[in-house]
Structure 1
Amino acid sequence: MLDLALFGFLMAFLAIGFRRPFVWVLAYIYVDILAPGKMGFTIMPAISPSLLTFVAAFAGWLLTDPKKGAKFTFRQGLIAALLFYCWWTTSQADFPEFAATKWDWVWKAMFFAIFLPLTLTTKLRIEAALLTMVITVSAIVISAGIKIILGGGGYENKLFFVNDNSGIYESSTLAAVAICSIPIVLWFNKYGTIFKPDWRVKLFSTGLIFSCLLIPVGTEARTGLVCIAVLLVLALRDVKRRLTFIMAGATLVFVALPFLPQSYYDRMATLGSTDGDESASTRLKVWEWTFDYALENPTGGGFDSFRGNKFTYDIPIRQETGNTTSVEYREVVDEGRAFHSAVFEMLGEQGWPGLFVWLWIHALGLWHMERIRRKWRKLQGDGEQWQAPLATALQYAQIIYLVGSLFQGIAYQPYVLMLVALQCALWTYCKRLDSHRAVHGPLAAPAEPEPPKRRVPPRLSPSTP
């Protein structure tokens, strides 16, 4: 039954695309984030929805899209350079079989990030892509939030649509994605046009934000707590009454503390120290090994090069006997541990050149969004008020991701690459409006293409012969 429902929805989605081929781009966004192919058991895995929508999106754009306003940006060129570099390191990988498996999904995520800005040539299309991303993530987040409220959650508990602990369904990854989606949800709450921001939209937005904040709590993902802290710090930049905001936030925290399970306190306590926490101690050793490995292999070892690591370290084991606490150090031998950091993931897999290009891509995004924010917030004309807030939302989402990615290997996360693509699209769109203004003066944004109107025959009166 689930297979039929997913199949029917996807086929309806694709059928609409025959009238509006851009819908196929939205269909791929939906499939790539939600992964319905993993949710079904017979039909969905057999039809390979990711490949189907990917081909439809690219073919629809190539054959039918007018491509007016499409422009290839420098950041897209950097992503393309990184893509070709990853292809080369994959051919030279330390572990060819594992590298090929990761390459199968990484190249599609990076290629789509290069392709997506070419399709987002109007405000309506930019908003539609963002809305599809948010609504798709909300399907995962809201369902998980309901399970957390009813069942209490817990670390590594099965709260999601699939039991595959990879991609966006990995708890720490979803926690970071959920929190970095909040600024975008707030933008829709004020500037959305597909769904007008009335009381229903605001009610849904409030519930979605609450669910996003529940994800780090329910999954007990330490990265999520760090991301929430970053979000609160960023919010101070825009709120008018900062002291009131800080007091309200502190009050909410104190009110929520009694309702949190003891397991959450125990897991969050490991944030302050690596002593006694084997996971944190392992990460430090992996990062140390990766740095030494990059010194010996400057161009990296290809995807999954972490499988070659092996190290030993001592971890303290505390035992309490009465009023006495004894500490005994136990030697731990570990090998093949993941990087647990996007920075060290890039360094170990793509070497210093790959890390440099990756950092350059994100640094340019932060700078471009800051330039749009500063320039467009001064403009108050019709059609000129949504650009600066959207640039701010995309910048905040990227900052939250970058901080969260310091503690998990999500350098190629498709959702984040889509955010990068949307930044490229917004940058191109604003540059085009700047050129338009320089020639014609301050005007509203170019009119969005309207669907053809249906001709209705004139209604005849009863007296008409």
Structure 2
Amino acid sequence: MRDLLLVGIFLAVLPIALRHTWIGVLLWTWLSIMNPHRLTFGFAQDAPFAAAAAGVIFLSLFITRDKLRMPWSPPVIVLFLFVFWMCITTAFALDPGDSWHQLNKVLKIQLVTAIALMALHERRHIELFIWVNALSIGFYGFKGGLYTLTTGGGGRVWGPAGSFIADNNHLAVAVIMVIPLLNYLRTVATHKYLRLGLLLLMVFCAFSALGSQSRGALLAIAAMTMVLWARSQNKVATGLILAVIGVALIAFMPSAWEDRMSTIGTYESDGSAMGRIRTWQFCANLAADRLTGGGFSIYNVQNLAIWGAPGARSVHVAHSIYFSVLGEHGYVGLLLFLLLWWLAMRQAARLRKASKGKAELAWVFHLAGMCQVSLVGYFVGGAFLQLAYFDLPYNILVILIVTQRWLDAGGWKAGAAGSVALAGGSAQQRLSSATATHQVAPS
């Protein structure tokens, strides 16, 4: 039944995606982020949905009458340079065959990222793109939160098999990243039941992240909480509220969870943590010896024998967005990677500065702030996870860039900005009032 339902939805959307490229982008994003085919049990589980959606998107570029234009801003240029550099490092990879295979996966994601930058122009495009990203991961946040509650925190939450977020740690960071996006959607929504539903979903996502038993996720939550507290004007009240919520969530978890989290401060005695540190040293040694790094496929005993850290007996993946990029693409790749995300945060700050105090742009102010909070979760949680090429942070980058283009186009001055039907027509007034009430300080 699930197989037929998924195929039915897919076939119903395909003709629309063929006429409107931005619809194709939403379809691809849903398939890529949520992996709904992994929730089926029959023929649909291994069907090439993503390949079919990609084919329709590329064909739509020649058919659609919608506006397609690339916003050549600094983050876009650096993103393309980073992708180009990955192609170079793959050409000189230690294991070219497997590295080309991995590059093919990355290029598929980045090609659709480029098309999203071209196709998303209107506010409704942006908000629907946010909805797809937030609910695709939010589904697993709800599912994992419910599981955590029903098991008393005794189980461990996992993601869909065969996806970027299959690992419990990866799913936890992804769920944490969408909580700020859900908060943005809650703020602009006008229907009270929708706002309540989104609030409950955020709570379930928080329980899901804790239920993953991921230490990196706990650090990411702490970092995001600090950003939210630092931005609030009434730091005492905000701090008390956040502290109460945090204590309530942690108090629910069993002692086994507390014991695992306590190893953050005693990593020297943790074999898993020390294994990661030795792998990080391996990546640094490799990057110091090769300008282009080793390519995507570097984690094997042969390379460990040459570039491994003293005492290393086995090598695993880097478990860090920073060290994986360093080892795979060298210091040039790491510089481009860091520059990309610095420009993304700067882009968000620019949006907040341009929209601050303007009622008609209150949604932009809040969206940019929540994107920053989400990226902070990625920067901190990703420091301990293999998520350098995961779709979600690049989709947040797309949101920031196309929102800046929308703002620069000036359509809002003529009252052209509309909200998606689900949010309601008075979202701007409600968000303006909320911004005035809670008054978040600019970044």
TM-score computed with the length of structure 1 as normaliser: 0.83
Larger mean Cα displacement after TM superposition, 119-128 or 73-82: 73-82
1:340 lines up with 2:333 in the alignment:
no
Alignment match of 1:309 (pick from 301, 304, 312)? 304
Q: Which residue of the partner structure matches residue 167 of structure 1?
A: 164
Q: Does the 8 Å contact 1:369/1:394 carry over to 2? A: yes
Change (3 A) 1:62 1:377: farther
Alignment of 1:48-87 (within 5 A): 48-67=48-67, 71-87=71-87
Q: 1:274 aligns to what SS in structure 2? A: helix
How far is the alpha carbon of 1:278 from its aligned partner? 0.3
Question: What do residues 191-219 of structure 1 show as CA deviations (whole Å, max 9, x unaligned)?
Answer: 2xxxx432111111111111111122111
Name the CA distance, whole Å, in 2 between partners of 1:281 and 1:58: 45
Compared CA separation, residues 32 and 65, structure 1 to 2 (3 A): farther
The secondary structure found in structure 2 opposite 1:272 is helix
Identity level (%)? 22
Question: What's 2:229 paired with?
Answer: 236
Shift of 1:53: 1.0
Matched, 1:400 2:377: yes
Cα displacement (A) at 1:11: 2.0
Bigger-Rg structure (1/2): 1
* Counterpart pick for 1:281 among 261, 264, 274: 274
Do residues 446 (structure 1) and 420 (structure 2) align? no
1:363 aligns with 2:360: no
Q: Which position in structure 2 is the counterpart of 1:456?
A: none
1:291 counterpart = 2:284: yes
Whether the 8 Å contact between 1:309 and 1:337 is mirrored in structure 2 is no
Question: Residue 392 of structure 2 corresponds to which residue in structure 1?
Answer: 415
Cα distance, 1:431 vs. partner? 2.1
Between structures 1 and 2, the one with greater strand share: 1
Matched residue type, 1:443 = K
Matched, 1:133 2:130: no
Specify the SS of the correspondent of 1:253.
helix
The answer to whether structure 1 residue 387 and structure 2 residue 353 are counterparts is: no
Superposed CA offset, 1:418-463 (max 9, x none): 1111122112222222xx7xxxxx9245356999xxxxxxxxxxxx
Q: Any conservation in 2 of the 1:154–1:220 contact (CA below 8 Å)?
A: no
Structure 1 runs not aligned, ≥5 long: 314-331, 437-441, 452-465
Q: Deviations over 1:352-405 (max 9, x none)?
A: 11111111111111111101111211323xx32211111111122112211111
Aligned CA distance change for structure 1 residues 173 and 151 (closer, same or farther; 3 Å): same
Alignment partner of 1:271 is 2:250: no
Residues 71/253 of structure 1: CA separation in 2 closer, same or farther (3 Å cut): closer
Per-residue CA deviations over 1:298-351 (Å, capped at 9, x if unaligned) read: 2111002133225576xxxxxxxxxxxxxxxxxx75323111111111110011
Report SS of the residue matched to 1:187: helix
Match of 1:47 in 2: 47
Q: CA RMSD in A?
A: 2.5
Aligned to 1:327: none
Note closer, same or farther for the CA distance 1:39–1:430 as it changes in structure 2 (3 Å cut): same
Change (3 A) 1:82 1:154: farther
Shift of 1:295: 0.9
State the distance in 2 between where 1:199 and 1:446 align.
25
1:124 and 2:124 correspond: yes
**Cα-to-partner distance string for 1:237-258 (whole Å, 9 max, x where unaligned):** 3434221221222233333444
Q: Which moved more, 1:123-132 or 1:8-17?
A: 8-17
Question: Higher mean Cα deviation, 349-358 or 42-51?
Answer: 42-51
Distance in 2 of aligned mates of 1:97 and 1:182:
38
1:424 equivalent in structure 2: 401
After superposition, the Cα gap between the structure-2 partners of 1:415 and 1:445, relative to the gap in structure 1 and judged at 3 Å, is same
Shift of 1:68: 6.1
Equivalent-residue separation in structure 1 for 2:69 and 2:41 (angstroms): 42
- Count of residue pairs brought into register by the alignment: 417
Return 10-19 or 58-67, whichever deviates more.
10-19
Q: Distance in 2 between matches of 1:190 and 1:36?
A: 27
- 5+ unaligned residues in a row in structure 2: which ranges? 422-443
Q: Are residues 348 and 207 of structure 1, via their aligned partners in 2, closer, same or farther at CA, if it must alter by over 3 Å?
A: same
CA distance 1:93–1:19, shift in 2 (3 Å): closer
| Equivalent residues of 2:319, 2:386 under 8 A apart | yes
Change (3 A) 1:357 1:9: same
Q: Which amino acid aligns with 2:372?
A: Q
Deviation at residue 51 of structure 1 after TM alignment: 0.8
Q: After the TM superposition, which of the residue ranges 230-239 and 295-304 deviates more from structure 2?
A: 230-239
Show the counterpart of 1:454: none
Bigger Cα displacement from structure 2, 226-235 vs 101-110: 101-110
In 1: Cα distance, 2:57 partner to 2:106 partner: 18
SS in 1 for 2:313: strand
Name the amino acid aligned to 2:176. I
Q: Secondary structure at the match of 2:165?
A: helix
What letter is aligned with 1:119? Answer: A
Q: Which of 243, 263, 279 is equivalent to 1:250?
A: 243
Q: 1:220 aligned to 210, 213, 220, which one?
A: 213
The 5 A counterparts of 1:75-224 are 75-153=75-153, 157=156, 159-160=158-159, 162-164=160-162, 166-191=163-188, 196-224=189-217
* In structure 1, C-alpha distance between the alignment counterparts of 2:101 and 2:39, rounded to whole Å: 20
Partner amino acid, structure 2, of 1:394: C
